[in-house]
Amino acid sequence: MSQYIEINPYSSNKAVLAEIVNALNDGKVIAYPTDSGYALGCKMGLKKPLQQIKKIRDLNDKHNFTIICRDLSEIAQYAKVDNSVYRLLKRATPGGYTFILQATSKVPGLMLNKSKKTVGIRVPDHPVPLMLSGALGEPLLSTTFILPDQDNALVYSEDFANEPCAQMIDYILESDYCGYEPTTVVDMTEVPVEILRVGSGDISIFE
């Protein structure tokens, strides 16, 4: 059964974050608010919670997961970033974007795009995911929480109670703000960059 925990985006939340970090290290799955709807998250490199997320969302093995990074320096540890890409990332983070980048060896093979060796990376414009990654000390493996029969992410924590698959989530974090518009997806593995999906992030900075 899911445990609901309130998290204040404007506070340090030390006790809450300590509990969630312990849960993540133990292989638990969490749901948390972002600037683009609720997301499901777990610790990178652990197979059991990754499979649990796939079951919750009815995903196949080809699904591309993302990682939540705190800042540019952390992105550079997990993705290959040259000077031109760095300048674009600096303008676009934090923000409503998902960046597709070539992964470094620090990204667990479980979550890589096997054919392209790429990884999706986010620096959300929302304090809660940044708090979580900061407390964990590494990026959080993540995917938007879209129900199997829906097109859009859940944005209200009270909706979870009505969804049987949500009962497989160990912790549901509640906050007073959750965005709703999907991210803009930008493939930065080639020059020029390619916009794969237009969402909340302004695409003019890539033109």
Query: At residue 113, does pLDDT exceed 80?
Result: no
Q: How far is CA 206 from the centre of its chain?
A: 22
Query: At residue 38, does pLDDT exceed 80?
Result: yes
Q: Which of 134, 196, 183 is nearest to 35 (CA)?
A: 183
* The pair of three-digit structure tokens given for residue 170, joined into one six-digit string: 């160990």
β-bridge mates for residue 197, sequence order? 185
**For residue 67, what are the contacts with CB-CB under 8 A and spacing of at least 6?**
44, 78, 107, 111, 119, 120, 121, 122, 139, 140, 141, 142
The tens digit of pLDDT for each residue in 118-138 reads: 999 999 999 999 999 999 999
Question: In terms of pTM, does the model score above 0.85?
Answer: yes
Instruction: Name the pLDDT band for 81 (thresholds 50, 70, 90).
Output: very high
Mean pLDDT of 142-168: 90
Alpha-carbon distances of 18 from 21, 68, 103, 115, rounded to whole Å: 5, 18, 29, 37
Pairing of strands 37-43, 184-187: unpaired
Predicted pLDDT of residue 65: 93
**For residue 16, what are the contacts with CB-CB under 8 A and spacing of at least 6?**
5, 6, 7
* The pair of three-digit structure tokens given for residue 72, joined into one six-digit string: 């540019």
Whole-number mean pLDDT of the chain? 94
Burial class (CB in 10 A: 0-12, 13-18, 19+), 48: exposed
- What is the rounded CA–CA span in Å between residue 49 and residue 56? 10
DSSP letter for 183, please.
Answer: P
Mean pLDDT of 84-102: 97
Burial class (CB in 10 A: 0-12, 13-18, 19+), 1: exposed
